[in-house]
Each structure stands twice: as structure tokens, then as C-alpha cells.
Structure 1
Amino acid sequence: MHLTEEQILKLAPDAASEKAGKGLASPTKWVLREYSERALWGHCQGSGKNPYQTQIDLQNIAFKCSCPSRKFPCKHGLGLLLLHASHPELFHRMEEPEWVKTWLEKRSENAEKKEKRAQEKAHKPVDEKARQRRVNERIRKVNDGVEELQIRLKDILRNGLLNIPEKIYTLAPEMRRRLIDAQAPGLAAMVSELMTIDFESEVWKYDLTDALSRIYLLAESYKHIDTLTPEWQEEVKSLIGFTQAKEEILSGTPVADTWMVLYVHEEKQDKITVQYHWLYGKSSGRYALYLQFLAPGVVPEVTLLPGSFISAEMYFYPGVSSQRVLFKQYTVSQDVFAPQACASVAGAMAVFRETVTRNPFVTKMPVIVAYLRLTQQGDELHAMDTDKHTVLLHLTEKARTQLLLITGGKPFAAFLFADAKRWSIKAIWVEQHYHILDNEDDE
């Protein structure tokens, strides 16, 4: 696996670990530096008598160290991986010592046990009567919540929109709490997004009307769900907040491919950390979104690095143009490829319009554009293609500085999210090198 310093530092749990890891990326810190096809290991001499034993699973990035740190990965794991990325010639290929081999075998055994438990759960007899009672009770609650939501939305429209900026921070939390109680978390999240509207802008009334219309449309679609196609039924239920058992998803037909990890992002949702992993399939040409939910103190089961490549069978959730996936396992791939890209801003906009026409609940779309330049128009930044077509950008000052330093003002390809108003660049390619931008502060 060929990793850059930028990719590795994305794994650091905090700024202090990042700094300490860089400090340990020196051959003088390591009295042992060795590797095999599936692992990397070393001895780092600390203040104690015995050096710390540090090991890294290269097939499914994971770390283990004998140091007392409670951070994951610790500074030793980061330092060892950084050193290998910058100076692989300093490492000797050797047979895995017993302490490394035992750890890798245990990880493999745990993965097999997890798969076995999943299969046993999938074949475990289900009390259908009890299950149906729970389903019926959930449906009743959701129906009541949707009915009450539509009444509230109609009241908002009858009273007019001009006073909404003052009332939204009271109205939205009230509606959200009621929808959470009604077991409709998807609708609750859409209501919460009303508070993110920029009511200082001149177009806030259009943004508010658009958001309210989308919420009402989803509520109305759910009330008439029996009239929809199976594909749309799954889409609406998913948007409302109904979940599907992993076993059901993993029983479907997978899409086997080599996938590039385009982007990884974390968000705090109450006490849970949600990791978003965006990937692109070489042969399928499909975007895939893998979500990982982490309670406080829980170590991620899967570590995917932006700019890396994996081979995996992806199981897509049902729905209209669904992108969310699950997978059972993956292996690191050496099959490096460049994703297919739209040739122009106009081409990407056409894809966005087609996507929204097919599914009006889409608010942003992942897309790769092959050739862009930054251009300033008044106080706002735009991306411009070779045909001089431009689109408004969301770009933080830090991301803008990064982009200019990396590109030097030259053209670049970009992975971004497009919506009807502006694009948000997440990563760029410059001379075949992939760079992640820090473009998250106000999203």
C-alpha cells in the first residue's frame, strides 16, 4: 500500500497525536523496523527499559502497540507508518515474529466469528407475531407523527413566512422532538436542517419554501406509500427513518469491484460519531457510501484511507439510485485507477438535474469533474471549466489556501458535492496526486 503523509495523518485522533507521530517518524527512534506482505512492525525505544512493540495490519489498516496510551492509533503507530511511507527502504522484509503473527491470526479469527454470528442470526427463527406487533406499533406512531407534522406545516403557511426567522429556533426543535417520539428520525433530521438556513441572505424565503415543500412531499408520499413502486416504497421508508436489518442487505446481490476511497468525514450526532466513507467503483462507475456509527470510546471496525484502493463486494441498500452500502470484508488493492469524470461544469450540472428529476429528495450529489480553475467574481469564488462555464463554490479560507498552495493556480480535477446553488470541493487531483481539502468548518 502506497500511503502519503496526508493520508496517514487523517488517522490521528487529535492534533497532539499528529505532532507526536511526526516526531517519531525518524529512523533513530526505532531499533527494529520490519515488514511482511500483510503487516508492518517495529520497536520504539521509550523512556523505559524495554522498547514498545508496535504493529500495523496493512490489509485492513489497524494498529496495536504495547505502550500505555489510550488513543487510537497511538503516536507510535502513526510514527511507524509515516516512516515507512517516507523511507520504505529502511525496512527489512522478514518473517513475522510470533507476537505479530498471533495478533494477525486473532484478528482473522474474530472476523470469522463475526461472520459466523451474522449468519446464525440470519437463520435464527423469528417470532413473527411479536415482530408484526412491533412493526404495527411503529407504523401507528409514524402515521400519527406524519399527520401532526403536516398540520404544523399548514399552520406555518397560513400564518405566513415572514415571521419564521424569529420562530424557527422554537418551532423546529418542537417538531423534531415530536418526530423522534414518533420514531421518524429521518423526517426529524430534515426538520432540524431548517435551522441551518441562512436567514440573513436575500434568498432565504426560497430556501425555506424549498425545504418545507420537500418535507411535506415526503410526508405525503408516506401517507400514499401503498400506491408507489417497490423501489420508491423502500426509498420513502428509508427517508422517513425505517431501518433494514444488515442480514437482509447482505443477502442481496453484491457489486464486486475495485473501489477508490474518495473521502472520509466524521459528524457528531448526539453522543454518536458517524463516519461517512465515500467510494467509487472502477468497473461499475458507481458511488458508494459506507456509514460507521461509533459510541464514545469505541474503536472503528473498518479504517479506510482517502486516496487508497480496496477490493470488495458492496451490497447496496434498496431504493431509488441508492448509494449506501454494506460489505462483509475487503482487501487492500494495488489496482490504482483514475475515476471517470465529467468533462465540464455544464456536464456535471446536467447529471445533477437528471438525478434530482429522478429523485426530488436529493439535495447534494457526489461528482468528479476533470478540469477546473478557481476564479473570483466579486466577493465570491467560482469554479470554471475549459468552456468558461462557472459555478459558485463553498470553499473555506483554509481550503482555499490549501488549494492554491497545491495547485499554484494550475487546473485541477476535483471530487465534490454539487447542489442547486453551490459546489463544495472535498478533494483534488493534481499531477495524479490526490489531496484532501479541509473544507468542513461551516457545513
Structure 2
Amino acid sequence: MNQLSEEQVEALSPDTPSLKAGRDLANAKKWVNLFYNDRVLWGEIQGSGRDTYKTQIDLNNTAFKCTCPSRKFPCKHGLGAYLLFAKDSSIVTKSEEEPAWVKDWMDKRVQKEEKKATAEAEPISPEKAAKQNKAKEKTQNERLDKIQAGIAELDLWLKDMLRAGFLAVPEKDYQYWTRTSTRLIDAQAKGLSAMVKEISQINFFQAPVQWQTELIEKTSHLYLLLEAFKNIEALPDLLQEDIKGLIGISKTQKEVLDSTPESFKDSWLVLAKQRFNVEEDNLVGQRQWLYGFKTKKMALLLDFAFANAPIKNSLVPSTVLNAELVFYPSNYPLRAIIKSQGSSSTDIPAIPHMLQSWQEWQESYTDALIKMPWIDIVPAHIANLSLIQYQGQWLLMDSKGHSKTLYLSEEKVYELLALLGGKKADFSIVSTLKSIEPVGVWLEGKYIFL
């Protein structure tokens, strides 16, 4: 059984209103009954109608199920039950006997994992493999023809923009951008379409030096990618994979697992979980940052789901997961998939290797850019940082007096001030060249996610 703290349970909440409602239900008097054993927590709570809502939580591989009509995962009832259990498990009655509705759900989860493991281990016949490869190659060639046609058109569009001069760009209308991005979608180059949309979203009402700098940066990145694709055969194999992925020729998780022989078994600390919206596709995305204590590797689990649908592989920050990861092929491997997953715990075995200054961080970030010029977010651990305020901005200052601007909400800044109490601390961060976002802080050998 994986015993989580209240803070770790709260991190599972899909939004602030759900968390507030969940806290209100973390009261034994509001539950008709509440039981647990080493694998599951379950209970019943009175709903708005005549029948009670049945809530259950997998305690080993965190998952929720509830009979309430909420479309949020977890719902307020699941959060309330788990918060109550995390606060004081002695309040909840221990029972090895599970009701049918609980046993059925848990047994199906176990069977699903066993079936998945069996299917992955089952070999494919040479004839079937050859047929699949032939069909796949045909599809890839057809798609490549479409993409090349789209890239040729985008290259011309970009050069026309340059000939007309960047000063004319703010005057471009909505159709100028959507026409190009839509054509790239038709050409099955979704990544390039997204880059065009990013350029269109530049705030052209800010100071000219700001929007001009941003426009040059984004168009340069786009042009570099187009030129790289034109010369892709001359580039290293792993960089070719990065370029294909950025353009939109991405591999499925199954393809990555089937084609990547190397995997990494480790105890992975879940550093952070970040959710974001992909409004145009009505999707919710989730980034989960992991650190392996043996391999000393950082990993990013990136998952998507339709709005209000549960996201798979939702892990708990500050817990250590025994798992085997496979990384997507890349010149700077960061994104990964969980190949197999074991138990998790709250015991952190060690403190990770720390960079000692912002100068070391800059060198590390530069190395990442050399390997993968289009990388946007890089994780790191940095030691002995102080939280200071200067000219109305919050900064993190290293032991050499160098500082970086903090990208954090006001609420989180005050939470961090309370945690630090004016002392220096080690931080885990995710960063771009322009922003530093702390995701956790190390205090007295413990990791506290923000």
C-alpha cells in the first residue's frame, strides 16, 4: 500500500474548486461508511438523490472510480475520501473482505495489466511483421510526399514575409495566418502549423523592440527547421528523429516501445505534475517530470486527454516509483514512456546531483541547445539558491551573486517564502532561456513539490 500525505493527495486534484469541495468532504461524519485494505480504499457517501455514491481508490497504482455524475477525475468524493485517509487512517475501518463492486473493479484492473504484459511478450510471426512493415512504409511515403509539398509552400511564404519586411507583419489579417496553418494541417505537418500559429499570437501592440525580437526568434526557428528537413539525410540519425517529430511525423508509444531496445529500470522520483490546455483541439495536456536516482536521468511523461476525461499515468508528486522507462529516440532524450511499473513509496533514497551556480545551469542549457536547437523546456537541479526581491521582481540568487527571474504565481511565492524562512535551499526547476519555474524544493533531505 502506498501511503500518501495530504499534500500529495491534493496534487491529484483536477482544479481548485474540486480541491475545495474535496476538503469539505474529508470528514468522517459525512460518509455512510469507509473501509480500506492493502490495495484499495472504498466507501459510500450520500448523494443529492436517494442512492449513495460508491467511491473507490486503488492505493498501489493510484486510480479513482465513483458512481457520481461528475466528469472530473478524480471527483470531489474521491478526493474527500483520500484526504480523510491521508489525514488519519485510524478513522477508516480496515477490512480484508471487499464488496462485489469493489472486488470486480480491482480484479479487472489486475487482469488488464496481466493481459497487457502477455500481449507485449507475445511474438509476431515473420509473415505478419513483413506485411505490417510494407503497409507502414507505403503510408509513410504517401505522407512524406504531402509534407514535402507543404514545406515547399511554407518556405515560399516565409521568404515572401521577409521580402516585404517585418514592419508589415503587424498589419496582416487573420486569414493570412489561418490560411497557411490550415494548409499545413492538410499536408499532415501539424508541428509546422503550430509554429505558424505561435508567430500569429505575438503581441504586436507591445514595444517594437520586443515584438520584433520575438518575431525574429520564432521565424528563425521555423526557417532553421525547414532547412534541416531539406538536408535531413546528412544529419545524425537521432537528430533526424527530432526534426521529424517537430514537423509532425511522430511515433506512437507502441512504435517507440517496439523499436527501442534500451530501457532504464530505476527508482524514479516524481518531481512535478503540470497541466495545460490545448484549446483548439479541446484537449488537456499533462507534463510529469521524473528523476532516476541510479541512472541520474531526467524524464518527461507527456500525456493528453479530451477535456474532462481522465489522463492516463497520473502519478503523485514527491513519491518514488519503481519503473522501467523507454525514451523516445532523440539527440537530447527527455520524453519517455513507462514500459513497466511496480510499487511506489514516499521514501526518497538520496538527494540528486546539483548544479552549483547559474553559470553551470547556462552551460548545461547551452549543451542541450547544441544537441537539439529547438528544445523548449529543460529540467535541472540547482543548489544553494536564495529567494530575494529586487525592483518589484522575485529572483533566485546563487552563491556567486548571480540571479534569475522567478516564474511563479504570487500565491506560490508566498508559500515558498514560508517554506524557506529566509534560508538557502536546493531547487528542482524547469526552464526556458527566458523563464525559470521552480517545481520543488529540497529541505533537510526531503523533497517538497510546489
User: One fold, TM greater than 0.5?
Assistant: yes
Q: Which amino acid aligns with 2:220?
A: S
1:171 Cα deviation from its structure 2 partner? 4.1
User: Please, which moves more after superposition, 307-316 or 205-214?
Assistant: 205-214
1:145 Cα deviation from its structure 2 partner? 1.2
State how far apart, in whole Å, the 1-side matches of 2:51 and 2:72 are: 20
Alignment-derived partner of residue 36 in structure 2? 35
Alignment-derived partner of residue 440 in structure 1? none
State how far apart, in whole Å, the 1-side matches of 2:4 and 2:199 are: 40
Alignment-derived partner of residue 437 in structure 2? 424
**What are the residue-to-residue correspondences of 1:230-379 with 2, within 5 Å?**
230-251=237-258, 252-269=261-278, 270-334=281-345, 335-337=347-349, 338-379=351-392
**What are the residue-to-residue correspondences of 1:1-16 with 2, within 5 Å?**
1-16=2-17
Is the 1:168–1:195 contact (alpha carbons within 8 Å) kept by the matching residues of 2? no
Alignment-derived partner of residue 82 in structure 1? 83
1:376 Cα deviation from its structure 2 partner? 2.7
State how far apart, in whole Å, the 1-side matches of 2:62 and 2:282 are: 25
* Alignment of 1:134 onto 2:135: no
User: Please, which moves more after superposition, 8-17 or 44-53?
Assistant: 44-53
User: Please, which moves more after superposition, 225-234 or 41-50?
Assistant: 41-50
> For each residue in 1:113-151, what CA deviation from the matched residue of structure 2 results, as whole angstroms up to 9, or x when unmatched?
344556679665535554333212111111111111111
Alpha-carbon distance change, 68 to 360 in structure 1, aligned in 2, over 3 angstroms? closer
* Alignment of 1:181 onto 2:167: no
Alpha-carbon distance change, 183 to 77 in structure 1, aligned in 2, over 3 angstroms? same
Q: Which amino acid aligns with 1:386?
A: S
Please state whether the residue corresponding to 1:162 is helix, strand or coil.
Answer: helix
* Alignment of 1:151 onto 2:156: yes
1:169 Cα deviation from its structure 2 partner? 5.5
Is the 1:372–1:413 contact (alpha carbons within 8 Å) kept by the matching residues of 2? yes
> For each residue in 1:5-25, what CA deviation from the matched residue of structure 2 results, as whole angstroms up to 9, or x when unmatched?
333223233444322211121
Is the 1:63–1:73 contact (alpha carbons within 8 Å) kept by the matching residues of 2? yes
State how far apart, in whole Å, the 2-side matches of 1:425 and 1:347 are: 17
> For each residue in 1:280-327, what CA deviation from the matched residue of structure 2 results, as whole angstroms up to 9, or x when unmatched?
111111111112221245333322122222111101111111211112
User: Please, which moves more after superposition, 252-261 or 393-402?
Assistant: 393-402
1:255 Cα deviation from its structure 2 partner? 0.6
State how far apart, in whole Å, the 1-side matches of 2:118 and 2:377 are: 37
CA RMSD of aligned residues (A): 2.7
Alpha-carbon distance change, 221 to 292 in structure 1, aligned in 2, over 3 angstroms? same
Identical columns (%):
38
Matched length: 437
Normalised by the size of structure 1, how large is the TM-score?
A: 0.89
Alignment-derived partner of residue 405 in structure 2? 392
1:403 to 416, 423, 435: 416
Alignment-derived partner of residue 73 in structure 1? 74
Please state whether the residue corresponding to 1:330 is helix, strand or coil.
Answer: strand
State how far apart, in whole Å, the 2-side matches of 1:141 and 1:49 are: 58
Is the 1:60–1:303 contact (alpha carbons within 8 Å) kept by the matching residues of 2? no
Please state whether the residue corresponding to 2:225 is helix, strand or coil.
Answer: helix
> For each residue in 1:54-110, what CA deviation from the matched residue of structure 2 results, as whole angstroms up to 9, or x when unmatched?
321011111223445444323221111101111123334431424333321111112
Alpha-carbon distance change, 195 to 430 in structure 1, aligned in 2, over 3 angstroms? farther
Is the 2:268–2:323 contact (alpha carbons within 8 Å) kept by the matching residues of 1? yes
Structure 2 gaps of 5+ residues are: none
* Alignment of 1:167 onto 2:168: no
User: Please, which moves more after superposition, 59-68 or 42-51?
Assistant: 42-51
Please state whether the residue corresponding to 2:153 is helix, strand or coil.
Answer: helix
> For each residue in 1:305-357, what CA deviation from the matched residue of structure 2 results, as whole angstroms up to 9, or x when unmatched?
22222111101111111211112332332242433322222221221112112
1:161 Cα deviation from its structure 2 partner? 1.6
1:420 Cα deviation from its structure 2 partner? 2.3
State how far apart, in whole Å, the 2-side matches of 1:140 and 1:49 are: 60
Normalised by the size of structure 2, how large is the TM-score?
A: 0.88
Q: Which amino acid aligns with 1:154?
A: K
Is the 2:229–2:243 contact (alpha carbons within 8 Å) kept by the matching residues of 1? yes
Structure 1 gaps of 5+ residues are: 438-443
